[in-house]
Amino acid sequence: MSFFTELAHQYIDGEWRPGSGSWDIIDFNPYDGEKLASIPVATAAEVDQAYRAAERAQEAWAATNPYARRLVFERALRIIEDREQEITETIIAELGGTHLKAAFELHLAKEFLREAMQLSLRPEGRILPSPVDGKENRVYRLPVGVVGVISPFNFPFLLSIKSVAPALALGNAVVLKPHQNTPICGGSLVAKVFEDAGLPAGLLNVVITDIAEIGDALLEHPVPKAISFTGSDRVGRHVATVCAASFKRAILELGGNSALIVLEDADIDYAVDAAVFSRYVHQGQVCMAANRVLVDRKVEKEFTEKFVAKVKSLKVGDPKDPGTHIGPLINSTQADAVTALVDQTVEAGATALLHGSSEGNLVRPSVLTGLDADSPVLQQEIFGPVALIVPFDGEDEAVRIANDTPYGLSGAVHTADIERGVRIARRINTGMIHINDSTVHDEPIVPFGGEKHSGSGRLNGESMIEAFTTQKWISVQHGRSHFPF
């Protein structure tokens, strides 16, 4: 039985059931338009049921020996390994992801589960000294309680697990809302993995719904103490505002407008390979993607010729074909928006070294240059296969251009001088940046997050403990205190 048939349901308090909303979320294959599933939406009442179930289950889970909690993640990892082919096929069908993209997503999902196993055992308490004689200060590290997780459509299986697994490992319960374009990979498939791994009922709940049905019920509900959101900065701003009004912690992983900088001493062939991957992996639908490729004028001609030639060699088409590099964008709205953006930018005076045509949700690669410094396209995140090549003269101009954006997520610097690259990287206002590599990286123990409009807070490693636990001070007075009255 297909995941799209088996898992087209809400998952609340350990039960698979239809939503009670009056309309359905329709899950389509973005490549061929095939209807994959029809899922009645969850209502605000069902969001409440999910949070209440999580609240009931969480206390016993937090009291469970962390070595026992760890076993759930070990089993979840084995389940993913055993079902890897089925999950790969599901990613390709629901996201339009290529085989390469699916392998990348599954590899990282497994790595984050391995890290969750260790995370179960990592929180530590402390005993701190006191200026008061006979007083002992104990600082406990405790779960926040219930966490709401909202995941995006581009890497839904990975980015759901990335927050869900650490939150559970640290003793919390979770309510997960996947993106409406990826309800299976980002939601019910994750629930199925953990259900089969033996996670007790109520600890992970999945509500497949839309803001048109529930409004801000997921954010405003009194039960969750933290919301982990991955998505656009526009929606992230709203999430932050609502969370602040109700004193909830918001962990926001938002968009990017990364720059990959090619200095005059770089290995040009290698920089081309890194730049093409950084821009066009998963059709450019990656928050860390290199929207802007900044190239020193001394090597601009050589780099550009080789870059365009490599982009021309990319195969666009059916993501089920293992040879395909670029599949469809997630939906027609996104495809139309990217196509219109390229057309408008060229009409405004940019030079199209490649002007990719579109067919349905397939958008072929574009490479644009000759952009005015104040071109709006340089300021925004482009979630599609469009590269902007921008020349510069010297390091200072490269840094200025790289920083001239409201975003600050990732980036890269290519140079023969590693320490020179590090000096430049330190001047660029991003949460992450890589020397002689692509802009697209994620590792389980390294802090992941951005500056400026790219978000707030960090995930991964020790940052997960900060995100999903709180500290509690309990003092113990040995003997008697003396009071002034």
Strand partners, 477: 135
Residue 231, token pair as written in the block = 């998505």
253 is catalytic: yes
Residue 73, token pair as written in the block = 């993640």
21, 40 Cβ separation under 8 angstroms: yes
Q: What is the C-alpha separation between 479 and 483, in angstroms, rounded?
A: 13
Alpha helices in 7-98 (DSSP H): 44-63, 66-82, 84-95
DSSP string, 200-268: PTTSEEE----HHHHTTHHHH-SS-SEEEEES-HHHHHHHHHHHHHTT-EEEEE-----EEEE-TTS-H
Pairing of strands 411-414, 469-477: unpaired
Burial of 480 (0-12, 13-18, 19+ CB in 10 A): exposed
CA-to-CA separations, 241 to 99, 148, 176, 459, in angstroms, rounded: 38, 15, 20, 20
Q: What is the C-alpha separation between 355 and 68, in angstroms, rounded?
A: 55
Which residue do the tokens 């403990």 mark? 465
User: Which has the closest alpha carbon to 83: 26, 175, 27, 7?
Assistant: 7
CA 405 to chain centre: 20
| 3-state helix, strand and coil shares in percent for the chain, rounded to the nearest 5 | 40, 20, 35
Report phi then psi at 141, rounded to 5. Answer: -105, 115
Q: What is the C-alpha separation between 382 and 359, in angstroms, rounded?
A: 19
287 is catalytic: yes
Burial of 32 (0-12, 13-18, 19+ CB in 10 A): middle
Query: Of residues 94, 287, 300, 395, which has the active-site annotation?
Result: 287
**Cα end-to-end distance, the chain, whole Å:** 74
227, 248 Cβ separation under 8 angstroms: yes
> Which amino acids are annotated catalytic?
253, 287
